[in-house]
Structure formats: structure tokens, C-alpha cells
């Protein structure tokens, strides 16, 4: 008997989330896609059932999990992209970023994992960023949040693996999804970091415009879902195989300089 899988994909109204949701619908899966306001989705994907979710509010996370019910696959994709010199990041903005990018995603996993474990099958895919492995100046809060999300996933893998549940992190490099237009910026008037900051942002935006497509990242996420024993980490884009190999072979300071140079610093 063929089993129809159910997936919950956060941030499914655009970009990577929309590409993943589309691919899973094409497989014949039941797909829930989340967005802050389902009625405002400009181009709804046929076959996707949209649920409201604000990851920064635990009550919203819990309501979303209850509405979805039994879920076989969770793709934690939604998040905020934030930039700014560490001295000038408002702490309420950093806290919001962590609630959205880390705590909300972890809480959603907490609510859905018991059912996966009881049914003997499940997949949780955390969509991270290569910045967690290759930190970049003026992206400290975002880098830290993605590293924290990966840390939760890496440590929790062993806990649930005996029950048929796999947890993996997918780290995309530069992605061509228009995310730069939605990035939050924190830079004080007259900041001493202004020139370098704008140089970095301009280069970052340029790299993203030439970056990996959402469809290619989605294909990597589907591989993490399909693998019988999902790997801890899947990286895609930005010459991932080469740069991860270099990371193992050369001193960290050299890698740090390479990342900086790629962004005009």
C-alpha cells in the first residue's frame, strides 16, 4: 500500500519554501505551507494548504502544529535575514531574529517530533546558511542564528535516529531569490563602519543575483528527505564542495580572508 506523506514547509510563500512545496505537491504529497498571512499570498501554489505562522510567537507555532496534525516531514525554512555592525545591532532586533530563526523553528520541531517517533518515520530539515560555516563581517547575528540552528540539529540527530527519524541541515550559499530586498539593516547615522558595510552589502547583493536558484536548493532539501540515512549537513551553491574542502586543508585565518575578499572587504 502506498503511503501519502504529509509535509509542513515554513516560509512557503516565496523562494526556497515555495520551490520545496511545489516539488512535494508534484510528488503527490499533502503539503502545508506556512506564511504570516495566508490571505496575502500573491501566487498561491495549487495543492498547498496555507497555514498562518509567526515563528516569533510560541502560541502561533503551537496553533500551526495543531492545525497541521500528523506531519511526516518538517522543512524549517522561514526566517529573517539581518545585517549590521555588532556594535549597532539593537538587542530587541537580535532577540527577534533568534525567536524567528531559532527558537520558533526548534519549538515547531519539538511539537512534531513525538508523532514522527511514534509512527517510526520522520524527517526534519533545517535550512541554514553557509555563513554558519564561513562567517562574514556585518552578518554576525544572522551567522550566529544559523549556527545555533545547526547546533540543535547536529546534537538532536542521535536522539531520534533509532526511531526512524532523520534530522539534517541544508546550508545554501548565495541564493538568487530576491532575499536581499527583504533583509533588515541596522546601521547608525554617521557610523564609522558605513563605507565597509555598504561595500559588503553591495557585493552580497551582487553575489546573490548570480547565486544558486531556489529550485537547486529545493532539490538538495529533497535529497536530505529521501536519503535513507540523512547526512548531518548538505551544502549547495557558492562552490560548496571546493570551499568546504579548502576549509579542512588551510588555516582558518586564510578562509576568513577569502570570505572577506569575496565580499569586497
- Catalytic machinery residues: 142
Cβ(123)–Cβ(230) below 8 Å: yes
Amino acid at each position: 500500500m502506498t503511503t501519502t506523506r504529509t509535509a509542513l514547509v515554513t516560509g512557503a510563500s516565496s523562494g526556497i519554501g515555495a520551490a520545496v512545496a511545489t516539488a512535494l505537491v508534484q510528488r503527490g504529497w499533502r503539503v502545508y505551507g506556512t506564511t504570516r498571512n495566508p490571505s496575502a499570498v500573491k501566487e498561491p501554489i495549487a495543492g498547498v494548504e496555507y497555514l498562518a505562522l509567526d515563528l516569533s510567537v510560541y502560541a502561533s507555532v503551537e496553533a500551526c502544529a495543531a492545525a497541521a496534525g500528523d506531519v511526516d516531514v518538517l522543512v524549517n525554512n522561514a526566517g529573517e535575514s539581518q545585517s549590521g555592525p555588532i556594535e549597532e545591532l539593537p538587542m530587541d532586533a537580535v532577540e527577534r531574529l533568534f525567536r524567528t530563526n531559532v527558537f520558533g523553528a526548534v519549538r515547531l520541531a519539538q511539537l512534531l517530533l513525538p508523532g514522527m517517533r511514534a509512527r517510526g518515520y520522520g524527517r526534519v530539515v533545517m535550512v541554514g546558511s553557509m555563513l554558519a560555516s564561513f562567517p562574514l563581517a556585518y552578518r554576525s547575528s544572522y551567522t550566529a542564528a544559523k549556527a545555533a540552528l545547526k547546533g540543535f540539529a547536529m546534537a538532536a540527530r542521535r536522539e531520534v535516529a533509532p526511531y526512524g527519524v532523520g534530522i539534517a541541515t541544508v546550508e545554501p550559499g548565495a541564493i538568487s531569490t530576491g532575499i536581499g530586498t527583504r533583509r533588515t539593516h541596522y546601521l547608525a547615522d554617521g557610523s564609522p563602519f558605513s563605507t565597509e558595510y555598504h561595500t559588503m552589502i553591495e557585493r552580497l547583493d551582487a553575489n546573490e543575483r548570480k547565486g544558486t536558484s531556489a529550485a537547486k536548493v529545493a532539490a538538495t532539501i529533497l535529497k536530505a528527505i529521501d536519503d535513507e540515512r540523512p547526512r548531518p549537513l548538505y551544502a549547495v551553491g557558492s562552490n560548496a564542495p571546493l570551499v568546504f574542502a579548502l576549509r579542512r586543508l588551510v588555516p582558518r585565518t586564510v578562509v576568513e580572508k577569502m570570505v572577506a575578499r569575496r565580499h569586497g572587504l
